Amino acid sequence: MGIVKLGNPVLRQVSRKTIRRTRQRATIEKLYKACKTTSAWGLAAPQIGILDRAFLMAAPIVQNDINLKNKKNDGPLPVVEKPITSEESGLSLFYTGIINPKVTGMSEEIEVDYETCLSIPGIAALVPRHSWIDVEFDTHTGDRREHRLYGHPARVFQHELDHLDGIVYLDRILNTSDIVVESEIPDFGAEDDSIVEGCMVESQTDYAPRDRSSTTSDHPGNPKLENPEDEVKAYFGSMYVLAA
């Protein structure tokens, strides 16, 4: 099963809510099969030509979250079958199925970091994302979960959720000069601070994301902004509508 590339109209369509459990399981199984042939932190259903509101992502550690309102959710997320080892990075990633996701809250703080996409091979770009988000979703085992995600997991979730709404990460960039050839980023693909042997850190309070606060203004070809943080917030603030 191939990955749908940018230019295919399916990537610009809004996915439908997935209700039937049999369809949910079938979509997750197809996503898992596709992940076996590639290296990805996440993969959304539209990227394999299915317009369901579902995606896979490397399973974050979510237990012991001090912000959790519903304590029955205070446990590890279910994983899909066995971990998949990336030939490129050597990491073994457990994946969890995310179905009918929505963002219910987000940080005011914005982090800018590089992203790539299997549907847009060969390039990367600096993308502003909320540093943490509150999310709700169904797991592939049928449980409804509510969690707060931080740092890298929050970025992956936002990236994949965009796919379900017909948005690709290039739509989020602030400056076209932030688009680069992937191989030109010296530390891209290096182990993220929040990843240990393919799993997220045990305690969210221990997570210290890499400082990318000056990345955009320091990138070659970008103009120096008088107040880049305010510009990012003003631009990015209109991008999400909180779920009712």
Residues carrying an active site annotation: 160
Contact 201, 61 (CB under 8 A): yes
Backbone angles phi, psi at 200, to 5 degrees: -75, 160
Contact 136, 243 (CB under 8 A): yes
* C-alpha separations of 96 from 58, 129, 142, 195 in Å: 6, 21, 12, 16
* C-alpha separations of 21 from 46, 52, 147 in Å: 18, 12, 22
Backbone angles phi, psi at 215, to 5 degrees: -60, -45
CA distance 96 to 159: 15
